[in-house]
């Protein structure tokens, strides 16, 4: 039975599939309700697909605001009413994010939180602004962060707990670029975006360091389509914004948004 499920997922995803399957089983057979930590979009997709296999279980996803990338989930037997269940997400405002010429970025804030001994899955989306950041975290650890987070990178900061309704979402900045490629293959597009030879871009893909829509993709020839988000470890993320037709020489015009 478990092997039937495994065929749908990458081998690296099996530990999460096992945990998620257990959550679903406990909701269905032990009538338990489960509040998860924050899931990335791929983990959320896996969990939803497992829930959809069991008509006796329901799921609700939430990330603290509309359009959240990282979300918590509640799983419960299908007869439970989930609308009024608390989301248990807290918003921490970190201020003092600029000091002289030093500008803090997403990695700085995430690193500071992880440096407190907090696991990644306890942290939701981080919204970085010129004057600091708004950090969505599991409510269970919010007081700990509020007391102990006093430095990000080399910058001294102050923190405050705010209602989640006060969140100021940060819009991801995209550097748009237009490229023409022979095909929509992953390696061809990624090599143009990152200005690397196709030979060099193939190695990290085959080594499992590439994700397409948060799912590991090891096939350099995998076709991309509009809306796909590609991340290459150490090189950053980009999104396929559009496919704009074919040139006279038969090459495909593609509009890319590179996250900056």
84 belongs to a structural domain: no
Task: Say whether both 201 and 152 belong to one domain.
Answer: no
C-alpha 152/C-alpha 126 separation (Å) is: 13
Question: Same domain for 132 and 197?
Answer: no
Listed residues 77, 103, 137: the one ending a domain: 77
- pTM of structure: 0.83
Which CATH number does the domain housing residue 50 bear? 3.30.1370.160
Give a yes or no: residue 83 inside a domain. Answer: no
pLDDT of residue 255: 97
- Residue 193 CA to residue 256 CA, distance in Å, equals 8
**CATH number of the domain within which 108 lies:** 3.30.70.330
pLDDT in the model for residue 162: 97
Q: Domain check: are 178 and 253 in the same one?
A: yes
What local confidence, expressed as pLDDT, does residue 103 receive? 79
Tell me how far apart the alpha carbons of residues 230 and 159 are, in angstroms, rounded to a whole number: 33
Domain coverage including residue 154: 89-166
Please enumerate in sequence order all residues whose Cβ is within 8 A of that of 147, keeping only pairs 6 or more positions apart, or say none: none
Instruction: Count Cβ atoms within 10 A of the Cβ of residue 245 and give its class: 0-12 exposed, 13-18 middle, 19 or more buried.
Output: exposed
Per the CB < 8 A criterion, the answer to whether 21 and 54 are in contact is no
What per-residue confidence (pLDDT) applies to 100? Answer: 54
Quick check: 222 and 212 in contact, CB under 8 A? yes
Quote the CA–CA distance of 141 and 3 in Å, as a whole number. Answer: 36
Asked which of 24, 56, 77 is the last residue of a domain, the reply is 77
pLDDT score at 74: 97
Same structural domain for residues 104 and 126? yes
Instruction: Name 95's bridge partners.
Output: 132, 158
Same domain, 111 and 153: yes
In Å, what is the CA distance from 179 to each residue of 99, 174, 193, 224, 254? Answer: 38, 15, 8, 14, 5
**Among residues 37, 53, 77, which one ends one of the domains?**
77
**CA-closest candidate to residue 71, choices 46, 92, 96:** 46
Q: 231 and 196 in one domain? A: yes
Indicate whether 196 belongs to any domain: yes
Residue 255 · residue 244 · CB < 8 Å: yes
Work out how many domains the chain is built from and give that number.
Answer: 3
Can you tell me whether residue 2 is helix, strand or coil? helix
Low-confidence ranges of the chain (pLDDT < 70): 1-3, 97-102
pLDDT tens sequence across 150-207: 999 889 999 999 999 999 999 877 899 999 999 999 999 999 999 999 999 999 999 9
Answer yes or no: are the C-beta atoms of 143 and 176 closer than 8 Å: no
Owner of token pair 């032990």: 30
- Residue 64 belongs to a domain: yes
Residues 185, 247 within the same domain: yes
Q: Which two tokens stand for residue 11?
A: 């081998």
Do 60 and 117 belong to one domain? no
Please report the pLDDT score of residue 7 as a whole number: 80
Is 227 part of a structural domain of the chain?
yes
* pLDDT in the model for residue 58: 97
In a domain, 219, yes or no: yes
Contact 34, 27 (CB under 8 A): yes
CATH number at residue 245: 3.10.290.10
- Examine the domain organization and report whether 254 and 178 are in the same domain: yes
How far apart are the C-alpha atoms of 79 and 56, rounded to whole Å? 8
Instruction: Give the orientation angle of helix 41-51 with respect to helix 14-29, to 10 degrees.
Output: 40
């Amino acid at each position: 039975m478990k092997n039937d499920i495994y065929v749908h997922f990458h081998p690296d995803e099996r530990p999460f599939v096992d945990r998620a399957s257990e959550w679903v089983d406990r909701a269905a057979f032990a009538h338990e309700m489960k509040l998860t930590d924050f899931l990335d979009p791929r983990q959320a997709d896996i969990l939803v697909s497992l829930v959809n296999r069991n008509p006796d279980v329901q799921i609700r996803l939430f990330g603290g605001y509309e359009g959240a990338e990282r979300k918590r989930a509640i799983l419960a037997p299908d007869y439970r009413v989930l609308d009024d269940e608390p989301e248990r997400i807290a918003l921490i405002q970190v201020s003092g994010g600029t000091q002289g010429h030093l500008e803090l970025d997403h990695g700085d804030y995430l690193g500071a939180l992880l440096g407190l001994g907090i696991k990644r899955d306890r942290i939701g989306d981080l919204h970085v602004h010129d004057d600091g950041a708004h950090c969505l975290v599991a409510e269970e650890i919010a007081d700990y962060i509020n007391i102990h987070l006093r430095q990000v990178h080399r910058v001294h900061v102050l923190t405050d707990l705010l209602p989640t309704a006060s969140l100021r979402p940060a819009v991801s900045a995209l550097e748009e670029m237009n490229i023409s490629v022979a095909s929509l293959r992953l390696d061809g597009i990624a090599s143009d975006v990152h200005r690397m030879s196709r030979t060099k871009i193939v190695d990290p893909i085959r080594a499992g360091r590439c994700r397409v829509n948060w799912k590991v993709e090891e096939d350099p020839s995998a076709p991309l389509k509009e809306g796909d988000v590609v991340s290459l470890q150490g090189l950053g993320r980009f999104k396929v914004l559009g496919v704009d037709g074919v040139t006279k020489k038969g090459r495909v015009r593609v509009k890319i948004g590179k996250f900056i």
